[in-house]
């Protein structure tokens, strides 16, 4: 985040972006939407409590009317104890006769998984989430990239991608964004890779390879997903050092994820869904340690129930079986008017003081309530 006193450069950059976009806006149809979210949280920290008020806004500009060319621009701002402006997405997609080209800042989704995804060797969706579990998308990092997508048959394709700048992209300010983009990038620090997806009966096989010059790693992966009574996925990847790899440490490079999801239509507008995901690091700690961050297994169960098309209830938990601690979030969302939602959720950590999710730690107990308006 950038302090309010340092926003001048950000505002100048915003004006520059607007000027650059204006010719395209005049020549194309643009669908725009604004999302404003305001909420208040009460957090317990030790024997004291903190009050946090946040106002978020997001402007989305999406080109329409041309199926072969699509531009998208998203501008986010946040006002809390500081003020920040961010551009999480700004890209151009072009559909040519034989392939599709993407340029700009966005996300490529390799592998499969909502919280844990070993196939996501680009953005690493295997780390522990310690913050907000109420978001619609828990993995949404983006980066500046160039990608080519080549369809090769029904439900089969090849994709190659290059990232000239660090991953994920800088968060929070135009200042950071522009400073990163203005730096010359050495060739040996580039990151990129290729993947292919192929339909095998009722199962989709996806495999690929990603190399990061900055991290000096080779990252091959394989991912399977399909449907057998429930939607399922299974992925495995390795992060192999480029230089002098010690192959006896192979289990420390290996990551495995698995997930199950099932949606039940209860008739009318009622629905119920279940999700269970696991992240496994064979070479990590399988007994409780003082650091409590690098454990070998994590679980994510979720239940969501919608008794009507305007009301939804949700229960999510991140479980650390090694130290027997957990972070649980129970939430409710009510669409009271078109475009206007009221939400509230309670977050509780259950664990000892030295566990990953400690009841005595910061935000061991918190309650949040707020409004979101989309127009």
- 76 confidence band (pLDDT: 50, 70, 90): very high
Return the pLDDT at 105.
94
Per-residue pLDDT averaged across 223-245, rounded? 96
Q: pLDDT per residue over 31-68, tens digit each? A: 999 999 999 999 987 778 899 999 999 999 999 889 89
The answer to whether residues 55 and 37 touch, using CB atoms and an 8 Å cutoff, is yes
The answer to whether residues 175 and 2 touch, using CB atoms and an 8 Å cutoff, is yes
Distances in Å between the alpha carbon of 273 and those of 260, 294, 303? 11, 30, 6
Return the pLDDT at 169.
65
Q: At 205, phi and psi to the nearest 5?
A: -100, 125
**What CA–CA distance (Å, rounded) separates 100 from 161?**
12
- 374 confidence band (pLDDT: 50, 70, 90): very high
Domain-wise residue ranges, the chain:
1-32+58-92, 96-248
The answer to whether residues 229 and 242 touch, using CB atoms and an 8 Å cutoff, is no
- 372 confidence band (pLDDT: 50, 70, 90): very high
- The Cβ of residue 326 has, within 10 Å, a number of other Cβ atoms equal to 19
Say which residue, 136 or 206, is predicted with more confidence. Answer: 206
Residues 6+ apart with CB under 8 A from 160: 147, 148, 192, 193, 194
Return the pLDDT at 177.
66
Return the pLDDT at 360.
87
**What CA–CA distance (Å, rounded) separates 263 from 271?**
7
- Reply yes or no on whether the pLDDT at 16 is more than 80: no
Q: pLDDT per residue over 114-142, tens digit each? A: 999 999 999 999 988 766 788 778 888 89
Mean pLDDT over the full length of the chain: 88
Return the pLDDT at 25.
43
Say which residue, 298 or 363, is predicted with more confidence. Answer: 298
Helix (H) or strand (E) holding 33: strand 29-45
Q: Rounded to the nearest 10 degrees, how much is the dihedral formed by the CA atoms of 131, 331, 227, 266?
A: 180
């Amino acid at each position: 985040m950038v302090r309010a006193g340092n926003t001048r450069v950000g505002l100048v950059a915003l004006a520059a972006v607007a000027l650059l976009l204006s010719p395209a806006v005049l020549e194309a149809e643009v669908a725009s939407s604004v999302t404003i979210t305001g909420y208040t949280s009460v957090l317990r920290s030790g024997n004291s409590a903190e009050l946090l008020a946040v106002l978020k806004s997001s402007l989305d500009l999406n080109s329409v009317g041309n199926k072969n060319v699509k531009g998208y621009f998203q501008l986010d701002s946040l006002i809390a104890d500081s003020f920040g402006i961010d551009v999480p997405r700004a890209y151009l997609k072009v559909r040519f006769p034989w392939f599709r080209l993407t340029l700009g800042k966005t996300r490529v989704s390799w592998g499969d998984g909502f919280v844990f995804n070993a196939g996501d060797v680009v953005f690493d969706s295997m780390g522990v989430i310690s913050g907000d579990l109420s978001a619609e998308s828990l993995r949404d990092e983006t980066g500046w990239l160039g990608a080519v997508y080549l369809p090769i048959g029904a439900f089969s394709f090849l994709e190659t991608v290059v990232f000239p700048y660090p991953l994920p992209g800088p968060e929070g300010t135009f200042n950071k964004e522009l400073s990163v983009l203005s730096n010359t990038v050495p060739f040996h620090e580039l990151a990129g890779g290729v993947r292919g997806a192929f339909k095998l009966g009722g199962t989709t096989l996806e495999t690929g390879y990603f190399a990061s010059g900055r991290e000096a790693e080779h990252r091959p992966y394989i991912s399977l997903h399909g449907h057998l009574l429930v939607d399922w996925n299974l992925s495995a990847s390795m992060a192999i050092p480029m230089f002098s790899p010690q192959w006896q440490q192979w289990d420390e490079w290996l990551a495995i994820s698995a997930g199950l999801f099932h949606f039940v239509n209860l008739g009318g507008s009622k629905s119920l869904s279940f999700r269970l995901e696991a992240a496994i690091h064979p070479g990590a700690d399988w007994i409780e340690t003082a650091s409590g961050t690098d454990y070998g297994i994590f679980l994510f169960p979720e239940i969501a129930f919608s008794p009507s098309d305007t009301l939804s209830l949700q229960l999510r938990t991140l479980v650390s079986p090694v130290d027997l601690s957990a972070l649980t979030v129970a939430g409710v969302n009510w669409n009271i008017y078109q475009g206007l939602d009221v939400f509230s959720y309670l977050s509780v950590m259950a664990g000892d003081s030295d566990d990953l999710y400690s009841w005595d730690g910061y935000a061991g107990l918190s309650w949040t309530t707020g409004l979101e308006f989309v127009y």
